[in-house]
Structures are given as structure tokens and as C-alpha cells.
Amino acid sequence: MPFAELQGSGLGLRRAMCRPLRERIEGGETPPFDFLEVAPENWIGAGGRLAQQLRWFSERYPLVCHGLSLSIGSLDPLDEAFVREVAEFLKTHNVALYSEHLSYCSDHGHMYDLMPLPFTRETVRRVSERIRRVQDILGQRLVVENVSAYLEPGKEMSEPEFICEVLAAADCDLLLDVNNVYVNSVNHGYDPIEYLRAMPTGRIRYMHLAGHYTESENLLIDTHGSDVSSPVWELLEQAYRIHGVRPTLLERDFNIPPLDDLFDELSQLRQVQYSVGEVREFS
């Protein structure tokens, strides 16, 4: 399905969802999502039944990819062989959008966590060079996501300033994660609305929505393991009013509830989109 048709609401597709979701679709149900997202690392190299399972969905819905291990901010050499594997996966499944976290997860080995980058101009220079190299290999723009973080090491500028400088220097696009904006605003004490206003509208390709865990009044943990909270729903509406309604995806990685519960949240997402304005298509 052409990339220009990506719009509305999306769902992060996990392997555990595939069978029950397919059964409901084949039974005649129209689920409340317009596109799906997968982590390419979870599917690259999969063959047989698993490959057929993903193909069934990618033939019916626009598919986007959200990576886990590119480690774009790492000091280690860029894994160009992996980037080429991703490029082949995107081609196989007609995926025209590949996003990754603006962070790093490797240091002489995989760290299995997303680590915060120093908000410095040297980091901007180094990361933007790596992004440009990824884009050269892929033959398309990379979309980078603002991440949740619990420390701000080596900070020379604000997080919004850092993100904007990376986007401009690398000439890449943004996946705006609204939950991460809220989590960081609580953890680091800044105004989430001002953060949203600082983001460059023209570079926002789509948005993420997820739940978090409240450790204390001043500490939120980004878990993707609970329902979206009321403050995040409210912030999503503000994001739409500032930047326009964009395709938005619901993430759920842990404590995955029954499909009916996910569908309820997706229906709520659609209600927010249509209450603010007509859903835009990518141009």
C-alpha cells in the first residue's frame, strides 16, 4: 500500500497479537487502526510461518518500522551491515518509513537499554553524520524519536534545542513521542507545551502514544506497559492543536491486554483526532 496513504491511528504489532488479530479480521471485523508498526529486529531473518504471518499483515495494511538497535548515538562504528539488512527488509515489506531512537544502546556490545545522549553541539555533529550515512545506505530519510531519559549528562542546551539541531544538521525527520515528552517534563521539571511548540512542524512524520508507570510524584518510568494516562491524552490533543493532526500509533510492549482493551484505546485515539480536525495524509 503506498506510503502516501498512511494516516489516522496505528497499532504496534507484537507477535502475540498476530493470531488473534488475524482471526478477528478474517471473521469480518474492521479493527480501529489504519496502519501497523513493527520492530525490524524482531522479524529480520524470520522464515516459514513467521514470515508468512507478517506478510499477511503487510499486504493489507501500511507498515512502518521502529528500530531498537541502530544505536545512532553510539561511539562504536556504525553497523552498516545491519543497516543494509534493514534496507532489504523495508523493500520486502514495502515499508517507506523507518524510525529509530535518538539515543544509544551499545558500547563494545549491546546494552539492552536506551541511554541518553549529551545535549552538546559535538553530539549534534557526530550523530547527524551517522544519520546521514544511514540515510545514504537506506536511500530514504531516517525518522528519529525523542526518548524518555532519567539523566541529562553533559547538558549544554535544552532537549528541544538539541533535537531541533540534530534534525536540521542531519536533514532527517521526527517521530514525536508524546508520552516521552510528558515523562521528561515531570522528571526534569519543564513545560511540555513549550517543548511541543519548539518542535519543527514540517519534520513531524508521525507520533507515538503509550503508558508509563508512576514511581513517585517526581519520577515517571516509561514502560509501555499500561493504559495511556489522562495527562498524556490531554497533551496529545495539545500536540494536534499546535502541529495539526498527524498519524499516531499506540504502543504496548508489556502487560498486553485483550484486543478489546487495545481497540478501546485506539477508538479513543480516533476520537481525539477527529475532535481536533481532519486527519492529514502524508504529502
- The model's pLDDT over 216-233, given as tens digits with 9 standing for 90+, comes to 889 898 998 899 999 999
Q: 275 is written with which cell numbers?
A: 475532535
pLDDT at 49: 87
pLDDT at 12: 97
Q: What is the pLDDT of residues 30-85, one digit of tens each?
A: 999 999 999 999 999 888 888 899 999 999 999 999 999 999 999 999 999 999 99
Of 35, 161, 174, the closest CA to residue 102 belongs to 174
pTM to 2 decimals? Answer: 0.94
274 pLDDT above the threshold of 90: yes
pLDDT at 6: 78
pLDDT at 281: 44
Q: Are strands 110-115 and 104-106 parallel, antiparallel or unpaired?
A: antiparallel
Mean pLDDT of the chain: 92
Sorted by where each begins, the domain ranges of the chain are: 3-276
Q: 222 is written with which cell numbers?
A: 516509561
Q: Which CATH superfamily is domain 3-276 in?
A: Divalent-metal-dependent TIM barrel enzymes (3.20.20.150)
Q: 121-138 and 159-170 are packed helices; what angle lies between their axes, rounded to 10 degrees? A: 40
Q: 178-188 and 230-243 are packed helices; what angle lies between their axes, rounded to 10 degrees? A: 110
Q: 173 is written with which cell numbers?
A: 525527520
Q: What would the mean pLDDT of 250-261 be, rounded to a whole number?
A: 94
